[in-house]
Structure 1
Amino acid sequence: MELDVITTIEELERERPAWDNLLEKNQNNNPFIEFDWIYSWWKIFGEDYELFVIIAKIEGETKAYFPFMKKKGLFVERIHFIGYGQANYMDIISGTWNKGQVIEYVIQKLLDSKKSRIFHLHGMLQSEETYACFIKSIEASTDIFYQSSVVAPFVNITEIDIEQYCHSRQKKHGVDRKEKRLKELGTVSIQPLQSKFYEQMFALHAKRWREKNDTSGFSKGKTKEFFNQLAQNDSKTFQTKIDALFLDGQLIALLYGFQCRNRYLFYLPAHDDDFGMYSPGRILFKEKIKECASSEISIFDMSIGYEPYKMDWNNGMDYVSTVIFPTNNMTARIFFLFLTSKDRLIAFLKKNRSLVHFKRNTLGKLKAFMLNNKVKGLIMGAVHTMQAKISDLFFNDEYILYRYDFPTDSGYIDLKWRKATVHDVEKLAIMQKKNKKDLIHRLFRKQRCYVVVIDNKIIHSFWLSAAEITIGDLGYRETLNKYEAFIYDLSWTEEQLINVSFLVKDFKTIYLTVNKKNTKCIDLCKKQGLFVEKRIKKRTFFSVRKLKA
């Protein structure tokens, strides 16, 4: 057996026909080892590494490619599969000839080297022959190596009745109910993402990860450039698939993935957290599985990771291994101990969902707050916290609950009122000084909002709840009867009250609350003939609370 080593991209390009031919013969369905994927990766990330692709030949005929690269350090060389950091799976490229014999020979030759080298090989699927051959060869050649694994859930579409399968799962977490509410909010469409929306795709992902403390670099620097390039590739061996969910033309969720022969590999999701209560990502995920079931796809691969939503959908499980081993060199072995200790710690932390959640979300929000608000924000945050603590100790406030029974003739004044849509939320958030996500959550709870828009600016608005009366400051809630409604966040004018009675005429009675200190609004309520239904008081003295209605 002969071994050749490719060290330049020009040499690698000349191997494309033979490389593609081996994969075609095997009907490869791993997109990460297709030549176009590897070539694209190297063009963008290759400057930080050296090519170290090993070709195994017998009597001049190529039997296998080992797609390695190396990175020289101060004391050791590190050998990785090409694509390290972005490729979730890797393998050697070989024909049907004795793979075990080829791998054994190459491993032995590599370990015979006197150089200080660490082999850090991530991405071998345990279900593939390569993994078993590598482990057997390493065990026979060295007494020191390490391996770890991470789950890779998938759906074997050939084994399911897709309608029954989706029906039982979409009820979990209320996905069917949330999808219905999303469609009530506006027009929902699911379609392949066009190139004109690619920047919105990266912006959506960046927004999603802005307050998370984690390693997803999809929307940054070279990684963004790479995935943008892949999105526009015209490879015949694999295709980049980006599926998007739009609400009234606004991108709110997407799935970025690859299709390689009979496998669809879901790589990365993103959704707008402002619409998170509707679970747009889960809705899109379900629709993508159904689409794959109606095509020639037999495996819906969810890729690596312990995310709970993957475990909700999978009916099969694979494992992806990371194998680390050094050459027979003292320096390499010392570095091996350091590297494997680090990998063990990372593997342990990733399996603990509560720790992952704390690191990614809690610490991420704290980091984002400190970066965005800096000194002034920290001071204001401390002041607000102190005020809240004092309020918990000493609090005394009162609201008046007014009842308004509609007259037969409301004397409606036409101010061009209309029911607010999702497109109004941004402007409402600015006008009412509210959080956009909180306003969308009101719509999710089927609360209505009415607005008057002049010159593209909201000048009047109010919210309506047919479920309950809520006074957030007091922590007060009261369930409403049929034909009753609660009005809140109302622009206080006489015309407003007259228009409210006209706009919500499907109710017989409305309620609204006024703080006892707001004498102007109290006078207006009296003038309009509103009845005082009750007074709601809250007193707190040294954290002992008393609520009286």
Structure 2
Amino acid sequence: MIKGKRVRILTDLRELEAIRESWENLHSCGLNATVFTSYEWVTTWFKVYSDTVASLFVIVICDSENIYGLLPLYVRKDNLSVGWFIGSGEPEMSETCSEMQDLLLSPLMAVSDLPPLSSIMSLGKIEAIYLSNVALNASLLTWCKLSKSSYIVRYIGRRYRAMTNIDNNALVKKTARIRKAANKQNAIVKRVQNPKELIEVFDVLATLHTQRWSEKGHFPIFDDPLFKQFHQEILVKLLKSKRLSLIYLSVGKNVLAVNYGIISGNDLIFYQNGVDTSFKPNISPGMLLHHEQLELARALGLASYDFMMSSGSVSYKSNISDETEVIASVKIFNNLRQLYFQKMIGYISLIKQLVKKRLGRSHV
């Protein structure tokens, strides 16, 4: 054990509420702090989704006064031996998609000073930890290596960012023509400033998003009651803490697009949008709002406007970004037996996919 420090595993909301001040102090100085490891995000998620999960499993490294490390996990009802990162692993139609999943760590604590991850997993009686969105430079992966943990890393996509320190970057160039067209239409961009406006604009966001995705034949995620409730609640908290950037573009009385962004660490991240594609002439309202968010990030002194991850090999985000990085899913195991079992399942799945593809070609 680290001298003067101990490991706690918190399993209910009351325990989280008791450490709120220490948690928020840690989050304010943590070098890898994101909205997804904030007290607001984690506790709001658990309040909304509590009936669908077995319990919280929040790992805390602390002393009698301060918290030096925190990893917000939970345990699902269908498998009590696995810890999932908060905001991941729900049914696909309800998933809130917490990204950049990592250990929240104090600058006063080195990863090398942390206890072995396997000992914490044994303490909490879980066999594995699953994370669905991890950068390759994450503190958690360093912790796994130093702990000599058994783990699997699988590349799942790329994260894209438009950088604020590049004046005439890709996004600025891409939107130059449509910004002129929007000006001719007297298009106006506004940022939500108060709770009343928030309710109105959120309803438009949900409506536009639902309309567009229904037309494409996909399930509109704002139709899921848990997903919608979570965002109705977290938006109010983000607005109060000045971390919300909910902006909308209108022509006359018509709102053509809404962009839902969140200030997270040193970035402004793009979380969701809704766009009316029927307006003529086409002034690409969704792209216009991406540019507005970039300029807001620049004005706030942030490092980037972050498009987050895309899993496809080709993404429109690649054409308007200046930096990109590989994102992976990570499975951490408490012993080699579980690691080999998971690898075997992966090999079997790969063989099935190859066989299916070959059979499909044979019928062409």
- State the TM-score, normalized to the length of structure 2: 0.79
Alignment of structure 1 residues 3-14 onto 2, 5 Å: 3-14=7-18
The letter for the 1-side match of 2:42 is: I
User: Residue 300 of structure 1 is aligned with which of 302, 305, 311?
Assistant: 305
Give the Cα separation in 1 of the matches to 2:132 and 2:160: 17
Corresponding residue of 1:154: 161
In structure 2, relative to structure 1, the CA distance for the partners of 1:61 and 1:19 (3 Å cut) is closer
Native 8 Å contact 2:208 2:276 kept in 1: yes
Give the Cα separation in 2 of the matches to 1:65 and 1:29: 10
Q: Does 1:100 align with 2:111?
A: yes
Corresponding residue of 1:209: 213
Native 8 Å contact 1:29 1:263 kept in 2: no
Corresponding residue of 2:87: 83
Give the Cα separation in 1 of the matches to 2:223 and 2:57: 29
Give the Cα separation in 2 of the matches to 1:239 and 1:341: 44
In the TM superposition, residue 255 of structure 1 has moved relative to its aligned partner by: 1.0
Corresponding residue of 1:226: 230
In structure 2, relative to structure 1, the CA distance for the partners of 1:250 and 1:337 (3 Å cut) is farther
* Secondary structure, counterpart of 2:309 in structure 1: coil
1:99-132 per-residue CA deviation (whole Å, 9 max, x = no partner) reads 32355x241214557967332112332244x144
1:454-475 per-residue CA deviation (whole Å, 9 max, x = no partner) reads xxxxxxxxxxxxxxxxxxxxxx
In the TM superposition, residue 15 of structure 1 has moved relative to its aligned partner by: 0.8
In the TM superposition, residue 151 of structure 1 has moved relative to its aligned partner by: 0.9
Corresponding residue of 2:362: none
Give the Cα separation in 2 of the matches to 1:345 and 1:151: 26
1:380-420 per-residue CA deviation (whole Å, 9 max, x = no partner) reads xxxxxxxxxxxxxxxxxxxxxxxxxxxxxxxxxxxxxxxxx
* Secondary structure, counterpart of 2:261 in structure 1: strand
Give the Cα separation in 1 of the matches to 2:296 and 2:67: 39
In the TM superposition, residue 165 of structure 1 has moved relative to its aligned partner by: 5.6
Corresponding residue of 2:19: 15
In the TM superposition, residue 190 of structure 1 has moved relative to its aligned partner by: 0.7
The letter for the 1-side match of 2:57 is: F
* Secondary structure, counterpart of 1:297 in structure 2: coil
Task: Report which structure shows greater RCO (CA 8 Å, sep ≥6).
Answer: 2
Corresponding residue of 2:129: 119
Native 8 Å contact 2:44 2:234 kept in 1: yes
1:224-263 per-residue CA deviation (whole Å, 9 max, x = no partner) reads 1111222222566561211111122211112111013532
Native 8 Å contact 1:34 1:237 kept in 2: no
Alignment of structure 1 residues 456-535 onto 2, 5 Å: none
Q: Does 1:256 align with 2:266?
A: no
Give the Cα separation in 1 of the matches to 2:64 and 2:232: 42
Give the Cα separation in 1 of the matches to 2:269 and 2:135: 14
In structure 2, relative to structure 1, the CA distance for the partners of 1:209 and 1:234 (3 Å cut) is closer
In the TM superposition, residue 219 of structure 1 has moved relative to its aligned partner by: 4.3
1:246-282 per-residue CA deviation (whole Å, 9 max, x = no partner) reads 1222111121110135321111122113238432111
1:351-379 per-residue CA deviation (whole Å, 9 max, x = no partner) reads xxxxxxxxxxxxxxxxxxxxxxxxxxxxx
Alignment of structure 1 residues 422-437 onto 2, 5 Å: none
Give the Cα separation in 2 of the matches to 1:65 and 1:210: 39
How many pairs are equivalent?
Answer: 333
Native 8 Å contact 1:28 1:260 kept in 2: no
The letter for the 2-side match of 1:51 is: L
Native 8 Å contact 1:65 1:93 kept in 2: yes
* Secondary structure, counterpart of 1:226 in structure 2: helix
In the TM superposition, residue 18 of structure 1 has moved relative to its aligned partner by: 0.9
Corresponding residue of 1:426: none
Higher-Rg structure is 1
Q: Does 1:54 align with 2:52?
A: no
Corresponding residue of 1:65: 70
In structure 2, relative to structure 1, the CA distance for the partners of 1:93 and 1:82 (3 Å cut) is same
- State the TM-score, normalized to the length of structure 1: 0.54
Give the Cα separation in 1 of the matches to 2:255 and 2:352: 38
Native 8 Å contact 2:129 2:332 kept in 1: yes
Corresponding residue of 1:310: 317
In structure 2, relative to structure 1, the CA distance for the partners of 1:254 and 1:219 (3 Å cut) is farther
In the TM superposition, residue 32 of structure 1 has moved relative to its aligned partner by: 1.1
Native 8 Å contact 2:134 2:328 kept in 1: yes
C-alpha RMSD of the superposition: 3.3
Corresponding residue of 2:143: 134
In the TM superposition, residue 343 of structure 1 has moved relative to its aligned partner by: 10
Long gaps (5+) in structure 2: 89-94, 354-364
Q: Does 1:25 align with 2:29?
A: yes
In structure 2, relative to structure 1, the CA distance for the partners of 1:39 and 1:114 (3 Å cut) is closer
